[in-house]
Amino acid sequence: MRRIKFNAQLNWKYIFGEILLIFIGISLAIWFSNWNSSIASSREKEVAIARIKKEIQSNNKELVAARTMNESILDAFSEFTTIYQDNSREIISSPDHLNELQQKYPDFFRVTDSTELATGLFHYYGSTFINLELAELSQIAWETTRSINITNEFDYECLYALESLYNLQSRVESEIENAARALQKGEINELMRILEFISQYDVQLEEDYKDMLNNIDNCH
């Protein structure tokens, strides 16, 4: 029987070289993976910011349009209150004064009948009509961004400002729902109280919208 004896020396330089190549390969793979993840996160963040920005722009338009209409309702009610007779279905006024108010606020009060009380003064019967403008404020883009944790990519100041903005928007939406219920119940005095409250909120919310639109592109 023959015996073969193998007695070769280990090539440590070769071994260390292989280990180094493996280490470099793994490091490059990790770096490349992190780089790809970073690019993907940056793209998702850019998309999220663009969607939130568009949502805020749309909400701001809704807010301004609704406030303009609702402030007109407040003004009309304030002026008609001076001639209402205990309720919003009867007024006592001169024809000239009533005509002036109706030209200023068309269809706010519609006369169905009248009785002359004295020379130049009439008791008018009718109804007050209020076309309430309800702003439809969205927060879909914001909720979507939060649900996929993209907000983790925002700096603290930007994230805090967005949280505050959408919290205030939620309060406005809650008051809008209260206004709609008051209108449905015919509670005009309560409606006016709510509209005044909404108007105060709206001013602050519009300022927050404008500030965010000016700064959201700098969210890091």
Selection from 84, 96, 95, 94 nearest residue 127 by Cα:
84
Range of the domain at 199: 42-77+132-218
Burial 153-173, CB ≥16 within 10 A → b, else e:
bbeeebeebbeebbebbeebb
pLDDT score of 39 more than 60: no
Note whether 163 and 71 are same-domain residues.
yes
Please say if the pLDDT value at position 33 is more than 80: no
**Are 148 and 111 in the same domain?**
no
Note whether 200 and 101 are same-domain residues. Answer: no
| Residue 169 domain-assigned (yes or no) | yes
Q: What is the pLDDT of residue 15?
A: 67
41 has a pLDDT exceeding 60: yes
Query: Which range has the worst mean pLDDT, 20-34, 81-95, 97-111, 161-175?
Result: 20-34
Rg of the chain over all Cα atoms, to the nearest angstrom: 34
Name the residue with higher pLDDT: 27 or 150.
150
Q: Are residues 158 and 204 in the same domain?
A: yes
Residues 136, 184: one domain?
yes
CA distance 199 to 138: 18
Q: When comparing pLDDT for 118 and 73, which is higher?
A: 73
Cβ neighbours around 53 below 10 Å, total: 16
Q: Are residues 161 and 100 in the same domain?
A: no
Residues 117 and 137 in one domain: no
The backbone region for 63, taken as left when phi is positive above 0, alpha when psi lies in -120 to 50, beta otherwise, is alpha
64 plus 115 within the same structural domain = no
The total number of structural domains that make up the chain: 2
Q: Is the pLDDT reported for residue 123 higher than 60?
A: yes
Q: Are residues 113 and 183 in the same domain?
A: no
Gap between the Cα atoms of 108 and 77, Å rounded: 9
Averaged pLDDT for residues 54-59: 96
52-60 mean pLDDT: 96
Does residue 214 sit in the same domain as residue 142? yes
Q: In the prediction, which pLDDT does 6 show?
A: 45
- Reading the block at residue 140, the tokens are 């879909």
Q: How many angstroms separate the CA atoms of 113 and 102, rounded?
A: 15
Least confident of 23-27, 37-41, 63-67: 37-41
Residue 3 domain flag: no
Torsion of CA 37, 40, 42, 44, to 10 degrees: -130
Are 72 and 137 part of one and the same domain?
yes
